[in-house]
């Protein structure tokens, strides 16, 4: 049997914004300490230029984040997070008014400020659990939201992650967060799910989740995968420098697409777009 039709083909969550094919979500970390690009885009002008470059390379969404959530990272004060992301959103939209921007935050005030500045999605690595006001900010904005699974919190999540059945537990958690979101007034059509690769997961957990991604896709929502340049890719390939983990990332993108994911959060837009174009062409070719 071929690839299952992606959930977004049927549920249409957010598809009014980004269409039903695979979508590249270009990562824009406005932080001094992100694991692979920390410090590179702290200057709003450099950040906006990078956003424009990723759009030119085929990003459908630009995900702007002002706090690193890499393993071991510390939270930044909310005001600082807002000061980082808002000018970048404003500059990006001044240059590229059509850009679809998401804000990578779990804080409601940052989300509200970003939405006010023109962001149109919220990417919440705590699946609305990190800030009691986040659900109502998203519900009132009526915008799409990415709900991600994480075990623990960034500071300590990689210490000793443990599951009885990682696929079942991640799927059940996401299903439960969907119900929380819906109860808070968020439209089902606006929900995207993410297994949270690398967030409180061992190498084995990441691999099992990628292998069994269809269990998450079966929940009926578009699925986003964020594996870009992550440590498990370096562990497998031996590539120590995060910047150089492009080929390994591309492999995860193609495999996840084949299993039904439709959104891919990546640093390197062009190679992932080219690989997806080939994957799409092959997978859409009908049997002889
Ligand atoms: N990964 C990171 C940050 N945000 N959001 C979603 N939805 N899914 C992810 O997998 C995800 C995410 C971590 O990667 P990165 O932004 O490159 O690094 P850092 O957290 O150090 O800024």
Is the pLDDT confidence value at 265 over 50?
yes
Give the pLDDT band of residue 12 (cuts 50, 70, 90): low
Q: Look up residue 31 and give its DSSP letter.
A: S
Query: Cα–Cα distance between 132 and 106 in angstroms, integer?
Result: 10
What fold does the segment set 6-284 form as a domain?
Answer: TIM Barrel (3.20.20)
Beta partners for residue 26, in sequence order? 62, 266
Tokens of 119: 């962001």
pLDDT tens-digit profile of 117-145?
Answer: 999 999 999 999 999 999 999 999 999 99
Looking at the CA of residue 196, tell me the nearest atom of ligand 1.
Answer: 10
CA pair distance 124, 105, nearest whole angstrom: 5
- Which entry of 84, 230, 259, 273 is annotated as an active-site residue? 230
**Nearest residue to 125 (alpha-carbon basis) of 177, 186, 185, 203:** 177
pLDDT at 277 over 90: yes
Q: List phi, psi (to 5°) of 65.
A: -125, 140
Contacts of 114 (CB under 8 A, 6+ apart): 64, 82, 85, 86, 89, 101, 103, 105, 122
Q: What is the Å distance from ligand 1's center to 69 Cα?
A: 6
What are the beta bridge partners of residue 270?
A: none
Decide: 105 in ligand 1 pocket, CB within 6 A. Answer: no
Note if 265 is an active site residue. Answer: yes
Q: What is the pLDDT of residues 191-245, one digit of tens each?
A: 999 999 999 999 999 999 999 999 999 999 999 999 999 999 999 999 999 999 9
Domain ranges in the chain are 6-284
Given a cut of 90, whether residue 11 has pLDDT beyond it is no
Q: Is the CB of 69 under 6 A from ligand 1?
A: yes
Reported as a pLDDT band with limits 50, 70 and 90, residue 155 is confident
Percent of the chain residues topping a pLDDT of 70: 95
Cα 258 from Cα 35, distance rounded (Å): 27
- Name the strands in the sheet holding 263-266, side by side, starting at the edge strand that comes first in the sequence: 191-194, 145-148, 121-124, 101-104, 61-65, 23-29, 263-266, 224-225
Query: % helix / strand / coil in the chain, to the nearest 5?
Result: 45, 10, 40
3-state secondary structure (DSSP) of residue 207: helix
**Ligand 1 center to residue 226 CA distance, Å?**
7
Q: How far apart are CA 31 and CA 44, in angstroms?
A: 11
pTM: 0.94
Where b means 16+ CB within 10 Å and e means fewer, 117-133 reads: bbbbbbbbbbbbbbbee
**SS3 state of residue 26:** strand
Decide: 194 in ligand 1 pocket, CB within 6 A.
yes
Tell me phi and psi for residue 121, to 5 degrees: -145, 160
One DSSP character per residue, 100-159 reads -EEEE-S-HHHHHHHHHTT--EEEETTTT-S-TTHHHHHHHHT--EEEE--SS-TTTTTS
Query: Three-class SS of residue 40?
Result: coil
């Amino acid at each position: 049997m071929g690839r299952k039709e992606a959930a977004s083909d049927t549920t249409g969550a957010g598809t009014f914004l980004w269409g039903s094919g695979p979508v590249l979500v270009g990562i824009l970390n406005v932080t001094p300490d992100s694991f692979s690009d920390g410090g590179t885009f702290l200057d709003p002008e450099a950040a906006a230029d990078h956003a424009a470059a990723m759009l030119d390379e085929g990003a459908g969404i630009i995900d702007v984040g002002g706090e690193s959530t890499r393993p071991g990272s510390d939270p930044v004060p909310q005001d600082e997070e807002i000061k980082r992301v808002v000018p970048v959103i404003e500059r990006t939209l001044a240059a590229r008014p059509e850009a679809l921007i998401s804000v990578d935050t779990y804080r409601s005030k940052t989300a509200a400020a970003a939405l006010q500045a023109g962001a149109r999605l919220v990417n919440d690595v705590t699946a609305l659990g990190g800030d009691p006001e986040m659900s109502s900010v998203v519900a009132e904005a009526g915008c799409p939201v990415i709900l991600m699974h994480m075990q623990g919190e960034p500071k300590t999540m990689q210490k000793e992650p443990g599951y009885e059945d990682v696929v079942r537990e991640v799927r059940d958690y996401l299903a439960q967060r969907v119900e929380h979101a819906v109860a808070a007034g968020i439209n089902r059509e606006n929900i995207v799910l993410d297994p949270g690769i690398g967030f409180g997961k061992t190498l084995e957990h990441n691999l099992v989740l990628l292998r069994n991604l269809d269990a998450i896709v079966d929940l009926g929502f578009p699925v986003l995968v964020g594996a870009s340049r992550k440590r498990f890719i370096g562990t497998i390939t031996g590539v120590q420098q995060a910047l150089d983990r492009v080929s390994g990332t591309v492999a995860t993108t193609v495999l996840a697409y084949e299993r039904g994911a439709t959104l891919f959060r990546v640093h390197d837009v062009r190679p992932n777009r080219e690989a997806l174009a080939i994957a799409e062409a092959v997978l859409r070719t009908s049997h002889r």
